[in-house]
Amino acid sequence: MAAVEPGLRVVGATNTGSGFDDVLAIERTLTPQVVIALCGPLGTPLHEVAQSFKDLLLSTDYGYEHVEIIRLSEEIRSRVGMASNSSIKELIEAGNDLRREHGNEVLAKLAVRKISVARAAEQVKAAAAKKAQHPDLFNEEGDDDLVPNVTLKWCHIIDSVKHVDELRLLRSIYGEMLYVVGVYSPIEMRIARLEGVLKNEKIHELIDRDSGEEMDHGQRVEDTFPQSDFFLRVEKTTDSHRLSRVKRFLDLMLGTVIATPTVNERAMYAAFSAARNSACLSRQVGAAITSEDGELISTGWNDVPKAFGGLYQTEGDGLNSDEDRRCWNMGGGVCSNDQEKKAISNYIVDKLIESEIIPLEKKMRLCQLLGGKLNLKV
């Protein structure tokens, strides 16, 4: 399972003309109530998963009194005045236009505002109820500031997050009250599902576009999905399969039952733990090999080889790293892989300009596009 730094804060979330103030939003939306954000590639049954969350939370097993699904696709349609039968391609382009005009986190801002308005309305209702029951607590003019704390069990489900900046804003506001669920289905199931609902649209092209567009304001599910807190694999089309997977997550999240890790979860935990052994600035990836019964056989991780054999590892008290000649300990901590990729991308751009295929004034833009595709900071 993915781990995300608990202190993650939003980057670049300023008021970019969307009519929504970030600081005020944070002040008004700090809440003990639960927010669930879903993220998944195109073709995944996100709407059905969201409805499963809602149905279960409202059941007697969990006893939530208010559960609302916020579909960001509907927020896009409402914002730009799109018809309900607009194509996925049109919807993607409209979302991209909103991000370009108002900032990459604009859709998350709209969701936060909707949650804030709902909570404000509930505060007014709660104040009115308290005033009716205890009029002696209020002065003759009526003190609207004496608003009781809302104790209702509420949950808002955001369907769905498509950009990492949206996720950053949500985490900066809701902190530990936010649960990000990455929903995944096998590609064959996703294609079959899309073929059943889409007409005259290039499915594979849409899937690639949804995964990760080259422009910064485009959809970036490829970058956002791995930062989920929990991964929900939906590999069957039956309601019972989907409900059982969602229920297990809710039991873990709310602590309603004792649920021990599955074989796959134990293996992923071992792999993630192994990745922490690496200090490679290019990528930190761990792997675990288990038997069919889940017995751990071996673990490994990406790193550079150590001179004369083996891998680098912390020894003794961990205070002496003089002999560690990996990138992080040499030359100020610059990744040699990134340096090489940057040199290659700059060479390509220079050759394109030299051949007059692109004008000189577009050099910076092309470098940014190549750098984003290669995960470089240029």
Distance separating alpha carbons of residues 185 and 220, to the nearest angstrom? 18
The helix, strand and coil proportions of the chain, stated in percent and rounded to the nearest 5, come to 50, 10, 40
Bond into 244 cis (ω within 30): no
Query: What's the topology of domain 22-259?
Result: Rossmann fold (3.40.50)
Distance separating alpha carbons of residues 288 and 274, to the nearest angstrom? 8
Phi, psi torsion values for 286, nearest 5 degrees: -115, 160
Phi, psi torsion values for 327, nearest 5 degrees: -55, -40
Task: Determine which helix (DSSP H) or strand (DSSP E) holds 180, and give its type and residue range.
Answer: strand 178-184
- Given a contact cutoff of 8 angstroms between Cβ atoms, the answer to whether 172 and 14 are in contact is no
- Given a contact cutoff of 8 angstroms between Cβ atoms, the answer to whether 259 and 271 are in contact is no
| pLDDT computed for residue 289 by the predictor | 95
| pLDDT computed for residue 356 by the predictor | 85
pTM summary value: 0.71
Query: Residue with structure tokens 């090489």?
Result: 340
Distance separating alpha carbons of residues 281 and 294, to the nearest angstrom? 31
- Given a contact cutoff of 8 angstroms between Cβ atoms, the answer to whether 370 and 362 are in contact is no
Distance separating alpha carbons of residues 371 and 214, to the nearest angstrom? 10
> DSSP string spanning 215-282?
STTS--HHHHGGG-SEEEE--S--HHHHHHHHHHHHHHHHT-S--PPPHHHHHHHHHHHHHTT---SS
Distance separating alpha carbons of residues 275 and 29, to the nearest angstrom? 36
Cβ–Cβ contacts within 10 Å for residue 108, how many?
29
| Cα angle: 84, vertex 231, 168; to 5 degrees | 70
CA 105, 108, 109, 112: dihedral to nearest 10 degrees?
-160
Phi, psi torsion values for 103, nearest 5 degrees: 105, 150
DSSP secondary structure letter of residue 12: S
| pLDDT computed for residue 171 by the predictor | 94
Report residues of the chain scoring pLDDT below 70: 1-32, 136-151, 199-201, 212-216, 316, 318-321, 371-378
CA 159, 162, 166, 172: dihedral to nearest 10 degrees?
70
Contacts 24+ apart (CB under 8 A), 261-265: 263/290, 263/293, 263/294, 265/1
| pLDDT computed for residue 57 by the predictor | 93
| pLDDT computed for residue 325 by the predictor | 75
- Given a contact cutoff of 8 angstroms between Cβ atoms, the answer to whether 41 and 207 are in contact is yes
Distance separating alpha carbons of residues 300 and 275, to the nearest angstrom? 8
Distance separating alpha carbons of residues 184 and 68, to the nearest angstrom? 22
